[in-house]
Structure 1
Amino acid sequence: MGLLSFCLLSLLAIAGVDAAQLSLQSPRFTISSGDASQLRSEPISLKQRPEPLKLAPTDVLKLSFQVVEKDGEKGVQPHQTFLRFFDAVSGEEGIQPVRVSSSGKAKFELNMAKPPGSIPPTTAENPLNVSLLLGSFEHSPARYELFDLFLPASQSAPPHELEHTFHPQPLIHHTFRPEQKVPPRIISAAGAILVLAPWVVLVGFLAHIKPSVPQLLSINIFPFIATLGASEALLFWYWVDLKLGDVLLYGGVLALFTAAAGKKALATKGDLRVGRK
């Protein structure tokens, strides 16, 4: 906010070079209590500050003045009028706009029961320096130191309902699955032999019977061999990707076709033995 007021005055100073300066006429403050009884009322001297003002939590400060051209009686409405509340200890400041009529008259009220949000945080020990900033494109800018103001200490802001979410949270510790245990090679080899044993038996039978290729590819024999191969492929697929439920579903359907094809193949075993089609 300090940079804002500095830039404001600098721009207005450039625009108002060699222009008439603004002045205040009849500046005055009044302090009243919550029951509207007047506690203090004095004119404000632009050459010497009054005794510091002090407000209680229910007091009301009223400030009135008229903006005129210096060494003149004509009222002027500045383009911008601000009250600056500055804490010299903390460096905090607040800017409060003031409405000025076309005749240059202005009134400002500070009710401590409902203070404006532009007031910086205060302590009971450090006063705020109150000054008036006037800016106009037709007149030179002006700044007037008005008084020092003691305000009640600011209360802490109520905690937000989600404030706890912005505090440091407990560290998240990830628990990873242990690496997959590979069975010993001898067990894997025994399992592979067990899976391939039916094929060894089948090949042994075929070697004993010695059927011809056209017989193996016949419509009675080939479906049974194909369904056996499909069963082996299903088991391999289960090992690579499928889940147990999928295997049971697909295997149950495939078992029906295998049983039907096997029954038909067994019905033709006599043909194979004697070498007939």
Structure 2
Amino acid sequence: MKAAFLLFLATAAHAAKLSADSVKYSIISAKGEPSTKSFVPTEKPSSEVVTLSGDQTLKLSLQVVDQATGKGVQPEQAFLRFYDEQSGEEGIQPIRVTSSGKAKFDLSMAKPPASLPPTSTAPLKVTLLLGSSSHSPQKLELFNLHVPASHPAPVHPDEVKFHLLPELAHTFRPDPKLPPRAISALFTGIILVVPWSILLGLWLSVSPQVPRLFSPNILPFTASLGAFEFLLYRYWVDLKLGDVLTYGAFLGVVTVFTGRHALASIADRRLGSQK
């Protein structure tokens, strides 16, 4: 029973509607001659037309009432909406409603509020929007307002930066190409042959005693040095730096051990010859 009663109250509160009573507006010119007119707002598009010149002021007054009881109501929200159907611009102006439901709004074209949208030759539809926790939302059409067309807004110096820019077309350099293998092999051969030719020529000029490069104790070290020369050749032809570093690290370890063994064998030979 209690639940049904609460449901009834909620339904009744939701069904309650707000309305506007004693709606009238006055147009006051610069000479102070008022022109007052009363009308009844509806939920349908209004045929009421109000025209303001640049030196006139519009004074609007109304009372928000309960549609069923006719008593004044103070809604939680009350706004005037100015809407230009031609441009789609709109502005929302909150209005103050007293506890008895009375509200007033003044619009001076000499100093229009910031809520008034940019205007053209098309009229502004003025709508009253009401919201209350104990009533259904209400939207009442008041009148069509003709005001002087506003001046175009000044162009901000940085406005052009927010325009759509043309699509960027990136031009990339072609991938670097390796020289022909024949040329690479030719210069590699020159690098390998010329130093050794100079070295052999200098050796022949001084007639040195060639050490035992091909003895079992020294040959692994000589082969390690030759492997390094071959690795540099392969790097010039097609190997990448990462591969060269990997193979070079392995050959370096091998060369260290073979070199130590070669030096030890030479030292043993020299010590044996001195005895």
Decide: shared fold, TM above 0.5: yes
RMSD: 4.8
**Aligned counterpart, 1:164:** 161
Residue 117 of structure 2 is aligned to residue 123 of structure 1: no
Residue 193 of structure 2 is aligned to residue 197 of structure 1: yes
Indicate how the Cα distance of structure 1 residues 128 and 135 shifts in structure 2: closer, same or farther if over 3 A, else same. same
Distance (whole Å) between structure 1 residues aligned to residue 212 and residue 35 of structure 2:
127
**Aligned counterpart, 2:14:** 16
CA contact (8 A) 2:49 2:145 kept: no
**Aligned counterpart, 1:46:** 40
Shift of 1:108: 1.5
CA contact (8 A) 2:79 2:128 kept: yes
Distance (whole Å) between structure 1 residues aligned to residue 112 and residue 219 of structure 2:
100
CA contact (8 A) 1:30 1:42 kept: yes
Shift of 1:77: 0.8
**C-alpha offsets along residues 226-268 of structure 1, whole Å, 9 cap, x if unaligned?**
77876776676677567xxxxxxxxxxxxxxxxxxxxxx9xx9
Residue 149 of structure 2 is aligned to residue 146 of structure 1: no
Opposite residue 193 of structure 1, the aligned amino acid is G
SS in 1 for 2:179: coil
**Aligned counterpart, 1:28:** 25
Indicate how the Cα distance of structure 1 residues 180 and 31 shifts in structure 2: closer, same or farther if over 3 A, else same. farther
CA contact (8 A) 1:16 1:136 kept: no
CA contact (8 A) 2:65 2:72 kept: yes
**Aligned counterpart, 1:82:** 79
**C-alpha offsets along residues 176-220 of structure 1, whole Å, 9 cap, x if unaligned?**
1464251461x33332322332697689x9999675333668xxx
TM-score (norm 2): 0.57
Distance (whole Å) between structure 1 residues aligned to residue 117 and residue 21 of structure 2:
25
Residue 60 of structure 2 is aligned to residue 66 of structure 1: no
Distance (whole Å) between structure 2 residues aligned to residue 241 and residue 39 of structure 1:
94
Opposite residue 46 of structure 1, the aligned amino acid is V
Percent identical among aligned pairs is 36
Residue 136 of structure 2 is aligned to residue 133 of structure 1: no
Structure 1, gaps ≥5 residues long: 1-12, 243-264
TM-score (norm 1): 0.57
Distance (whole Å) between structure 2 residues aligned to residue 156 and residue 111 of structure 1:
19
Shift of 1:150: 0.9
Distance (whole Å) between structure 1 residues aligned to residue 227 and residue 18 of structure 2:
104
